A and B are shown apart, each in its own frame.
Chain A
Amino acid sequence: MGVRVKTGHTLLAATLGLGMAFGAQAGKYPDITSLPDLKINAAKAELGKRLFFDRRISGDAGIACSDCHKPENAYSHPDALSPGYPGNGHFRNSPSVINAAHKKVWMHDGRLGTNLNDVTREMLTEDYIMNMDMRVMQERAKQDPKYVQMFKDAGYGEPSNGSIRKAIPEYLKTLTSVNAPIDTGKMSASAKRGQKLFKGKAGCIQCHNGPLATDGKAYNTGVPENFDIFLDPMNHHAFIAFAMFQGIEDYMNLKRDPGYYNITMDAADTGKFVTPSLRELKYSAPYMHNGMIKSLYDVVGFYNRGGGKDSRKDSRLKPLKLGKQDIKDLVAFLESMSGDPLTSGKHVWKGPYPAEYPVIENWTQVKN
């Protein structure tokens, strides 16, 4: 529904910026340091929390952000391919949104590079995500006295679709890693050995660097296609609608996810996806843009074989010849980047939602 903005060009600029900052000195990559603190407005974040768990902000009131970004899965979804809005499937894995507020580039193909307000808009309005006409959304919020109060307390005045798209990003800022061993320094010996491999022999740091363990750039690692995109027609029709909207030619015959090609329309970018953050992996299986790899052992195994099969695969990926213990250590290191689950009332809205919209009394006399 509504207007979807193509922001490929902004992204390209953002990515180039990052590339210049980090990539210039070959061999030297920024460390995986702690994330900076974010300034958060508590009242706005609290409002965003209630919205994130509220199904009424989808077209048929059937699906909430939290149905695809589940707290117990680090705010990702345990299915390889995300569920879709009712009546639709999806064609990508639902990523963790923990630490999303620290990113500059979003979505597996990196097609959004502006801000979380735009990402939220895309989630709300996309046909196969929440299919929300934002005018209906605004009027629903205005019909719920609890929201009317919360918007006021947050300094937004009356509920509006604009402030909904501000409050949700404010809440997303509260979803940041807490007590991850890599931040507290309480890493096991195995994890420490894994960290050495990560920065050295295994070469992971070339792409997974900086506080989020991502350089924000797109690479082709040769992850195999998930055939369920095409074998399940509900997923396939969402994919067709997506590819059609992105302006990809011959989208009816497409048998693979084009990835970063969406943005550049340069064949060389086919099959590239943005390096994901490696934080909170412990809870966010399965992995990769299409959920094709089930466990962290399997991911490390994948890299150990030099990645997958693709004529355009990145030349950095070579068989690593890691031993059994090396693999264990790498997995231990990956796990040390996961903190406490964010599943308490601090992050999860546990309050009820009204079963019905109360009537506005004295309707003929009050202003709409």
Chain B
Amino acid sequence: MSNVIQTPTLLAAAITTALLAGCAGQTTSEAVAAPAAEKSMAAAPMAMAGPAPLAPLGEPPIPADNLQSPAKIELGKILFFDPRLGGDASTGCSTCHEPDQGWAWAEDFSRGYPGTVHWRNSQTIINSAYFPRQFWAGSASSNESQARGAARGGVAGNGEADIMEARLRVIPEYVERFREAFGTQWPIIRDAWRAIASFERTLVQRDTPLDKYLLGDKSALNADELKGKELFEGKAGCIQCHNGAITSDQDFHNIGIPPNKRWEEDGLAQITFRFEQYAKGQTQEGYRKAKSDWGFYYRSKNAWDKGKFRTAPLRYLKYTAPYMHNGVFYTLEEVVDFYDRGGFDEDGRTTLFPENKSSLIKPLGLTDDEKDALIAFLESMSGEEMLMDKPAMPEYAPLFTLAELEAAQEAK
């Protein structure tokens, strides 16, 4: 941990870029980013109105129309691991949210439905119960609606509601469990999403070193971590966006993440890239020219939202590499270096929409020790790894006996 590699050349590169940008006319996309960064020098990171302070995580909110019950949670758990909740019965939630891969998928782009690759990084399920906005660009508003979307998307579950509902109905154990949890005669697909959401609301982590510290156990963070906390809340300015108990303001920012190079090198990824432009409602023109993920723009359709993403929560990070919506960074070292350079990767690449880049992202001038401390603090937001064995899958069985079928035939 925390062996931050010295990157003086990169730092220099970032400064050069800033200088170049000063000389009008140099309009490579990297260069345009700089003025925004300069402007923000004025903005004091810890203004009085100030961001919500870091806080211990409370109980997850439970919606009044989907209260928790042991039967529901257990059902939701089985469903979460059941690949039959997807088009060809091979790709369920846990396929891309593997408990031993941080309840996510340990590649830059998530694996996709068979024959496809996804175009975004798979997010962890841990603590998703707290997010009023789900997905990288915040397009779902609850665990319930999120699950529905995940099971259906062409490169995710690719399953239609009717076939998945029909499958559940020919699995007697599910029929029984749905009856117990929801009181229905036959499983209804909407209730499957509700059960999964209930299960997800149990996948929370509230006993991280940071939580313990904030609850009064002053020994829970060591000196290094405390120094990191100070940087996080001060010089590095992370708290401006990563704040409150869930370490996210749930707002959208363009922090300068460059496009994933895989789109230039991988045919399958290029297919999904174009498909997503359609799926996300791009215009013809946008479909033709998009060369990166436009993020929140797909929902708002405002030019200034291009390249903005939801502030990613920082809890459980230790287990969820790679990072960012397109997984371009494989370590926290890379992430911190990226912020330290003011939103540039080691090759000086940044967002294709530098005009939208947040003025809060600017070179930080962190020393190596400071980077180490910041990373140590980031890791204190993760507790023990949460592992879980896959539950036994209930089996299909015929609904009718041969005798019943013969009787029906006789009665024709």
Listed in ascending order, the chain B residues whose CB lies under 8 Å from chain A are: 84, 86-90, 113-116, 154-155, 158-160, 162-163, 165-167, 169-171, 186, 263-268, 270-275, 277-279, 287-291, 396-400, 402, 404-406, 408-409, 412
- For the complex formed, measure the closest distance between the CB of A270 and the CB atoms of chain B, giving whole angstroms: 9
A139 at interface by CB-CB < 8 Å? yes
Q: Identify which of residues 249-305 in chain A touch chain B, using a CB-to-CB cut-off of 8 Å.
A: 252, 255-256, 271
| Contact present for A357 and B154 (CB under 8 Å) | no
Binds B, one of A44-52, A165-173, A190-198, A358-366: A358-366
A333 at interface by CB-CB < 8 Å? no
- For the complex formed, measure the closest distance between the CB of A226 and the CB atoms of chain B, giving whole angstroms: 10
Binds B, one of A16-24, A180-188, A235-243, A344-352: A235-243
| Contact present for B158 and A368 (CB under 8 Å) | no
For the residues of A in contact with B, the DSSP-based class is loop
Additional pairs, 6, CB under 8 Å, beyond known A127-B87, A230-B399, A357-B271: A61-B114, A88-B89, A131-B87, A312-B412, A364-B264, A368-B277
What is the bound-complex CA distance between A161 and B2, given in angstroms? Answer: 51
Q: Which 4 A-B pairs have the closest CB atoms?
A: A87-B89, A357-B267, A61-B115, A133-B154
CB neighbours of B159 from chain A (8 A): 127
- For the complex formed, measure the closest distance between the CB of B401 and the CB atoms of chain A, giving whole angstroms: 9
CB neighbours of B155 from chain A (8 A): 136
- For the complex formed, measure the closest distance between the CB of B156 and the CB atoms of chain A, giving whole angstroms: 11
- For the complex formed, measure the closest distance between the CB of B221 and the CB atoms of chain A, giving whole angstroms: 44
| Contact present for A237 and B400 (CB under 8 Å) | no
CB neighbours of A140 from chain B (8 A): 271
What is the bound-complex CA distance between A349 and B199, given in angstroms? Answer: 49
What is the bound-complex CA distance between A311 and B279, given in angstroms? Answer: 50
| Contact present for A241 and B88 (CB under 8 Å) | no
What is the bound-complex CA distance between A240 and B169, given in angstroms? Answer: 9
Residue in B154, B166, B271 whose beta carbon sits within 8 Å of that of A240 in the complex: B166
| Contact present for A252 and B186 (CB under 8 Å) | yes
Assuming the contacts A230-B398, A231-B402, A236-B398, asked whether A363 and B87 have C-beta atoms less than 8 A apart, the reply is no
**Across the two chains, which residue of chain A brings its CB closest to B266?**
A359
**Across the two chains, which residue of chain B brings its CB closest to A231?**
B398
What is the bound-complex CA distance between A255 and B411, given in angstroms? Answer: 11
| Contact present for A60 and B405 (CB under 8 Å) | no
| Contact present for A237 and B167 (CB under 8 Å) | yes
What is the bound-complex CA distance between A222 and B158, given in angstroms? Answer: 38
| Contact present for B114 and A60 (CB under 8 Å) | yes
CB neighbours of A56 from chain B (8 A): 115
A75 at interface by CB-CB < 8 Å? no
| Contact present for B113 and A367 (CB under 8 Å) | no
**Across the two chains, which residue of chain A brings its CB closest to B90?**
A87
CB neighbours of B270 from chain A (8 A): 143, 357, 359-360, 363
Q: How many A-B residue pairs have CB under 8 A?
A: 164
A128 at interface by CB-CB < 8 Å? yes
- For the complex formed, measure the closest distance between the CB of A311 and the CB atoms of chain B, giving whole angstroms: 6
A326 at interface by CB-CB < 8 Å? no
What is the bound-complex CA distance between A356 and B270, given in angstroms? Answer: 12
Assuming the contacts A143-B271, A310-B412, asked whether A241 and B398 have C-beta atoms less than 8 A apart, the reply is no
- For the complex formed, measure the closest distance between the CB of B12 and the CB atoms of chain A, giving whole angstroms: 26
Q: Identify which of residues 117-144 in chain A touch chain B, using a CB-to-CB cut-off of 8 Å.
A: 127-128, 131, 133, 135-136, 139-140, 142-143
A59 at interface by CB-CB < 8 Å? yes
- For the complex formed, measure the closest distance between the CB of B296 and the CB atoms of chain A, giving whole angstroms: 21
CB neighbours of B279 from chain A (8 A): 135
| Contact present for B409 and A60 (CB under 8 Å) | no
The interface centre, meaning the residue of A356, A360, A363 with most chain B CB atoms within 10 A of its CB, is A363
What is the bound-complex CA distance between A240 and B162, given in angstroms? Answer: 9
A162 at interface by CB-CB < 8 Å? no
Listed in ascending order, the chain A residues whose CB lies under 8 Å from chain B are: 1, 56, 59-62, 85-88, 127-128, 131, 133, 135-136, 139-140, 142-143, 222, 224-225, 227, 230-234, 236-238, 240-241, 244-245, 252, 255-256, 271, 309-312, 356-360, 363-364, 367-368
Residue in B165, B290, B412 whose beta carbon sits within 8 Å of that of A256 in the complex: B412
Residue in A131, A233, A238, A241 whose beta carbon sits within 8 Å of that of B158 in the complex: A131
What is the bound-complex CA distance between A281 and B227, given in angstroms? Answer: 82
CB neighbours of A241 from chain B (8 A): 160, 162-163, 165-166
- For the complex formed, measure the closest distance between the CB of B185 and the CB atoms of chain A, giving whole angstroms: 8
Assuming the contacts A59-B88, A237-B169, asked whether A357 and B397 have C-beta atoms less than 8 A apart, the reply is no
CB neighbours of B114 from chain A (8 A): 60-62
What is the bound-complex CA distance between A227 and B166, given in angstroms? Answer: 18
What is the bound-complex CA distance between A358 and B267, given in angstroms? Answer: 5
CB neighbours of B166 from chain A (8 A): 237-238, 240-241, 244
| Contact present for A139 and B275 (CB under 8 Å) | yes
Residue in A128, A309, A359 whose beta carbon sits within 8 Å of that of B412 in the complex: A309
CB neighbours of A142 from chain B (8 A): 271, 274
**Across the two chains, which residue of chain A brings its CB closest to B154?**
A133
| Contact present for B158 and A357 (CB under 8 Å) | no
CB neighbours of A231 from chain B (8 A): 398, 400, 402, 405
| Contact present for A244 and B162 (CB under 8 Å) | yes
The interface centre, meaning the residue of A225, A233, A234, A358 with most chain B CB atoms within 10 A of its CB, is A233
CB neighbours of A227 from chain B (8 A): 402, 405-406
- For the complex formed, measure the closest distance between the CB of A147 and the CB atoms of chain B, giving whole angstroms: 12
Residue in A59, A136, A255, A368 whose beta carbon sits within 8 Å of that of B404 in the complex: A255
30 contacts between A and B (CB under 8 A): A1-B87, A60-B87, A60-B113, A62-B114, A86-B90, A87-B88, A135-B275, A136-B272, A143-B271, A224-B409, A225-B405, A227-B402, A230-B399, A231-B400, A233-B171, A237-B166, A240-B166, A240-B170, A241-B160, A241-B162, A241-B163, A244-B162, A255-B408, A256-B412, A309-B409, A356-B267, A363-B264, A364-B264, A368-B273, A368-B277
CB neighbours of B397 from chain A (8 A): 233
What is the bound-complex CA distance between A146 and B90, given in angstroms? Answer: 30
What is the bound-complex CA distance between A280 and B86, given in angstroms? Answer: 37
What is the bound-complex CA distance between A359 and B398, given in angstroms? Answer: 46
CB neighbours of A143 from chain B (8 A): 267-268, 270-271
| Contact present for B162 and A127 (CB under 8 Å) | yes
What is the bound-complex CA distance between A224 and B278, given in angstroms? Answer: 46
| Contact present for A238 and B271 (CB under 8 Å) | no
- For the complex formed, measure the closest distance between the CB of B409 and the CB atoms of chain A, giving whole angstroms: 6
- For the complex formed, measure the closest distance between the CB of A361 and the CB atoms of chain B, giving whole angstroms: 9
CB neighbours of B115 from chain A (8 A): 56, 59-62
| Contact present for A1 and B405 (CB under 8 Å) | no
| Contact present for A85 and B271 (CB under 8 Å) | no
CB neighbours of A133 from chain B (8 A): 154, 158, 275
| Contact present for B169 and A256 (CB under 8 Å) | no
CB neighbours of A310 from chain B (8 A): 412
| Contact present for B412 and A136 (CB under 8 Å) | no
- For the complex formed, measure the closest distance between the CB of B99 and the CB atoms of chain A, giving whole angstroms: 23
- For the complex formed, measure the closest distance between the CB of B1 and the CB atoms of chain A, giving whole angstroms: 35
| Contact present for B266 and A364 (CB under 8 Å) | no
